[in-house]
Amino acid sequence: MIKKKKEKAQHYTLFKTSLGMCGISWSEKGVTGFQLPEKTLEDTKQKLLEKRGDRIFVPLSSDSTSIPDWIKKGVRQIQGYLKGEKSNLSDIPVDLEGVPEFHKAVYQAAEGIPIGKVATYGELAKIVRSPGAARAVGNALAKNPIALIIPCHRIIGGDGKLGGFSAYGSLAAKVKLLELEGAQIAQKNGSGRNSVKQNGKEWSQVSSVSWDGAALALRKSDPEMADLIRRVGPCALKPDTKQDPFHAFLESILYQQLTSKAAQTILGRLKQLFSHGDFPTPQELLDLPLEKLRSAGISQNKALAARDLALKTMKGVIPTLSEAKKMSNESLIQQMTEVRGIGQWTVEMFLIFNLGRPDVLPVTDYGVRKGFARTFGKKELPSPKQLEAYGEKWKPYRTTAAWYLWRALELP
């Protein structure tokens, strides 16, 4: 007979907030459960006890030695948050042992949504690499054992409607929490159905969770990365999302293996070859004799690559900006590397600095590899395979990780 492994007992306590009595439970690793106020104190307690294993009650008091200091601090943060303070609850450690892997991925993605912002079920599905699984994301959030700390209240429907919420009071509770964070809640056409406004408009989808949210998730998943992020400060990545692929890749070709200053000089000379003094159109570049193109200081190989890029753009091989935004990373890499002089690294730079894709890790980039070695105290650079393997723990925020590894080279 196989004996069932006995779960370790967890501790819990109840505490007052401006909304009523809340409950929190924890293990040695982190918070295992959180309960917003129910109709009665007994209901709150029972709801908490239903979550993930046995629990031993510990009275909350300032001199209690049975409650870790980090739990006492977390309780104070929650109390402040429910009074309207901008408390960062994502700093509270959580323990998701035993939670299904898909649910974990959803919860980690939700933790990346900054206070006062919202994301849709569909967006979270894309972030956890399950596009089309919005319903499964909703089911995972409905089973969130650590509500509020894992902010499932910040997830709404793609049409701006609030969706469900499992806490007592349902949507009224969700509205209350969002309003505490500064989100604007509006009723649509007197129907009584609430929707969320963000940036002054009814909800419209965004491409990814913010860089700040991504940095926060990285800090929680990787201690070494957390130290690097602390030393560097907020992520200042600002993709140029308006530059079309032809101009972006033409610039990339010209910049290859040159200093920034030298490349800027050559690009300036290229623009001066045309009466408008700006980037040429694909047709204008093709009409320019090769010798004239080379007179700007462009090498033979780069000139041929630029002409190939222009030709393939004219033939429709190179996507427009709107088309590129709809393509997957893999499809864009495959399509763009058909152009002479454009490899995977060049396309990865476009994905990061033009499309702002959140999960790109250029494993062949010298700066990223050097930054990794410095951050993790390695004497030798990691191989691309080693970096790719380690980077699995940074998903789905590998772009932010790469940005911080580049910044590591600027630290004293």
Any idea which residues carry the catalytic annotation? 365
Amino acid (1-letter code) at residue 218: L
Q: Report yes or no: 365 and 180 within 8 Å, Cβ to Cβ.
A: no
- Closest C-alpha to 154, from 203, 92, 191, 214: 203
CA 235 to chain CA mean position, Å: 12
Q: CA-to-CA distance for 399 and 388, rounded, in angstroms?
A: 13
Burial 263-296 (b: 16+ CB within 10 A, else e): beebbeebeeeeeeeebbbbeebeebeeeebeeb
Beta strands across the sheet bearing 194-198: 184-187, 194-198, 201-202
User: What is the largest distance, in Å, between two alpha-carbon atoms of the chain?
Assistant: 86
Rounded-to-integer distance, Cα 65 and Cα 31, Å: 17
**Contact, 300 vs 294, CB < 8 A?**
yes
The Cα–Cα gap between 358 and 375 comes to 21
Alpha-helical regions (H) of 233-299: 245-255, 260-272, 282-287, 290-294
**Under a CB-based contact definition with an 8 Å cutoff, are residues 240 and 353 in contact?**
yes
Q: Which residues contact 316 (CB under 8 A, 6 or more apart)?
A: none
Under 8 Å between Cβ of 409 and 367: yes
Nearest partner of 390 among 405, 408, 379, 407, judged by Cα: 405
Cα dist from 406 to 13, 174, 181, 241, 357, whole Å? 44, 39, 33, 21, 17
Helix ranges, 354-383 (H) = 366-375
In the 8-state DSSP scheme, what is residue 166? -
